[in-house]
Amino acid sequence: MRIEDKIKELIVTALTKSQGINNDEINEVDLELSRNKNNEHGDFSSNIALKLSGKLKRSPMVIAEEIINSIQVTDELERIEFVKPGFINFYLTTEKKHGVLEEIISKGKAFGASCVAEKKKILLEFVSANPTGPLHVGHGRHAAFGDSLARLLRKSGHEVFTEYYLNDAGRQIDILCASVMFELLLLEGQKLDRVGGLYKGSYIKEIAGGLQEEGIAINKKISSPKTGGSDDEIVDALILELKDVAGNELFQMVLEKTVLQMTKLLKDDLSDFRVRQDGFYSEKSLFSEGRIKEACEIIKKNGNAYKKDGALWLESTKYGDDKDRVVIREDGRSTYFASDIAYHHHKKVRGFDLLINILGSDHHGYVSRLEAGLTSTGNKASDLEVILMQFVTLYRGKKKIQMSTRSGNFVPMRDLYSEVGVDAARFFYVSRSHGQHLDFDLELATKQNNKNPVYYIQYANARIKSVIKENEKRGYLFDEVTGKSNLAKLKLSIEEDIISLLGKYPETILKSSDSREVNKIANYLKSLSQLFHSYYGSTKFVSDEDGVRNARLLLLQCVSTVIEDGLDILGVSAPSKM
């Protein structure tokens, strides 16, 4: 049992004894125990006396004193004190504090794992960008955060399945196919005016060139796209003409091959960025497997749909949406919302307890719609959790970088992590809360000094490896048994601070997981590295005295273990040499 849980049990027993209240009454006010930032105020602190003061109509200082007098002293607590206005501070014994080091050595990177109270089966959907172009720097933040959150949730004991919803059906895919076929016609020698509404970029030309190498050809002339209408009208007319002239069979073949190529491009971009997606869910499968029809039948059966003007509407205002929504148009075609309803219902059918979606902050108005859709199929709105991600702005020093080209294409994610490295990109993307706008400084991300946080943290770990190697060169091999038996010799105040911070790692994991704030792990690692670098600059690690040397080396091993594990959660490597 964790020491935090033991102390909570002592408080509950003392409350029952001194105040005559039961567990239900204690739960009403929420018994909290927090680690103190300042060790002078103890290792842990509780404000339970302050919380109960109003209920019991008594002074919090009196309640705190009575609680302390009723607590059964254990050999893990050095002393317990109460201070104004009613906080209770718990001081651990030196032996108990050092027990954290033994736990880290014993558990290794499993230290801090599986500490969540209620384990859940979670489906985490993130990125899910349309397969119509390469992922851009904005998607990069979603990718880094989503993957790190998945690692964090797994670390805290949840079962997590990550998924990319692939929009491989609908008008935008027809436009993608038309873009490739238009390029193919140009390669075949047709003289055609460029169309504004088509997708552009080297990837379109590469796909068209690849199809030509496969022997795929249109070999039929089309009329040059008409001018005068909107881009949408011109593109829609082009799609109809391509289907008519080339034939629907060829159009579908090019479409499927193009989507396959684009999906591979997306997968490669993510894989090279160390982002793991356990599954790619095809929107087309919602049609081919009858899931949209099934979802519509469910909402009708549940009395949540009605017919109007020949269309099928979801009565989503019943569930908090600002207006009712069309799910099946009057011509029989389903809307994007119908796909979302079917997809999210199928997530629940697959047995997931909690659905987490990471969306851009510009999708905030879509949240109530998704909740309404999920509820209308007989699920609970609370089964869905939406995390809204703020935008990214690129800088090079103080100079703001243009995020898109003249043609409207955004800076590719791959370009960013190719320039600064995957480690720096992953760390910088999650260094701020997802709810805050992120200014990404490319210049800072490539610096190799203590101003660059990822370098600073990695360098701490590399220094530890260097210290161990230096001792080995001098014939001082680390002896774990000697280190454990001499932990009492770790008396420097900075050593106590490091040990205290190491003890906070499991709590940091739990709080970060519960709040979905991956940046707390980044902040923790910065704090731990800062303490270590100060320790490194002021302390001798190569010593003839076996006891002190091995105790300090054991402490360094523990710091390295936690740094490496924290970096792994963030998808960042921990090089042993820099």
pLDDT band of 407, cuts 50, 70, 90: low
Does the pLDDT of residue 200 top 90, yes or no?
no
Please report whether residue 439 resides in a domain. Answer: no
Query: N- to C-terminal Cα distance for the chain?
Result: 39
Q: Are residues 454 and 550 in the same domain?
A: yes
pLDDT given for residue 118 in this prediction? 86
Please choose, from the candidates 165, 134, 564, 129, the residue with its C-alpha nearest in 3D space to the C-alpha of residue 339: 165
pLDDT given for residue 374 in this prediction? 97
Domain final position from 232, 250, 268? 268
Name the average pLDDT for the chain: 93
- Neighbouring-strand partners of residue 481: none
Whole-number Å distance between alpha carbons of 14 and 34: 18
Considering only the C-alpha atoms of the chain, give the largest distance between any 2 of them, rounded to a whole number of Å. Answer: 93
Q: Are residues 111 and 40 in the same domain?
A: no
Average pLDDT over residues 424-449: 97
Whole-number Å distance between alpha carbons of 139 and 143: 6
Please choose, from the candidates 31, 52, 36, 53, the residue with its C-alpha nearest in 3D space to the C-alpha of residue 90: 36
Does the pLDDT of residue 405 top 70, yes or no?
no
Q: Are residues 55 and 107 in the same domain?
A: no
| 496-550 tens-digit pLDDT | 999 999 999 999 999 999 999 999 999 999 999 999 999 999 999 988 899 999 9
| 322-343 tens-digit pLDDT | 999 999 999 999 999 999 999 9
Please report whether residue 535 resides in a domain. Answer: yes
Phi/psi zone of residue 127: left (φ > 0), alpha (ψ -120 to 50 degrees), beta? left
pLDDT given for residue 514 in this prediction? 95
Does the pLDDT of residue 72 top 90, yes or no?
no
Q: What angle do CA 336, 341, 344 make, to 5 degrees?
A: 120
In the chain, the number of structural domains is 3
Average pLDDT over residues 166-194: 94
pLDDT given for residue 409 in this prediction? 66
Q: Which residue has the higher pLDDT, 422 or 13?
A: 422
pLDDT given for residue 31 in this prediction? 85
Q: Are residues 183 and 87 in the same domain?
A: no
Please report whether residue 436 resides in a domain. Answer: no
Does the pLDDT of residue 408 top 60, yes or no?
no
Q: Are residues 104 and 184 in the same domain?
A: no
Please report whether residue 44 resides in a domain. Answer: yes
Q: Are residues 519 and 549 in the same domain?
A: yes
| 114-135 tens-digit pLDDT | 767 789 999 999 999 999 999 9
Which are the contacts of 355, defined by CB distance < 8 A and separation ≥ 6? 122, 123, 125, 344, 347, 348, 374, 383, 384, 385
Q: Are residues 50 and 105 in the same domain?
A: no
pLDDT given for residue 159 in this prediction? 97
pLDDT given for residue 480 in this prediction? 95
Please report whether residue 105 resides in a domain. Answer: yes
Which are the contacts of 128, defined by CB distance < 8 A and separation ≥ 6? 164, 165, 166, 167
Domain final position from 217, 239, 268? 268
Q: Are residues 177 and 222 in the same domain?
A: yes
Q: Are residues 110 and 77 in the same domain?
A: no
Please report whether residue 500 resides in a domain. Answer: yes
Domain final position from 227, 247, 268? 268
Tokens of residue 411, six digits = 């800076």
| 7-61 tens-digit pLDDT | 999 999 988 888 888 777 777 778 888 888 777 888 899 999 999 898 888 999 9
Average pLDDT over residues 211-219: 94
pLDDT given for residue 246 in this prediction? 93
Asked if 392 contacts 360 with a C-beta cutoff of 8 angstroms, the reply is no
Q: Which residue has the higher pLDDT, 405 or 392?
A: 392
What's 502's domain CATH number? 1.10.730.10
What domain range includes position 503? Answer: 99-115+449-569
Q: Are residues 103 and 67 in the same domain?
A: no
Q: Are residues 34 and 111 in the same domain?
A: no
Please report whether residue 373 resides in a domain. Answer: no
Q: Are residues 176 and 262 in the same domain?
A: yes
What's 18's domain CATH number? 3.30.1360.70
Q: Is 353 exposed, middle or buried (0-12, 13-18, 19+ CB in 10 A)?
A: middle
Does the pLDDT of residue 446 top 80, yes or no?
yes
Please report whether residue 456 resides in a domain. Answer: yes
What radius of gyration, in Å, describes the C-alpha atoms of the chain?
Answer: 30
Does the pLDDT of residue 357 top 70, yes or no?
yes
Average pLDDT over residues 179-184: 96
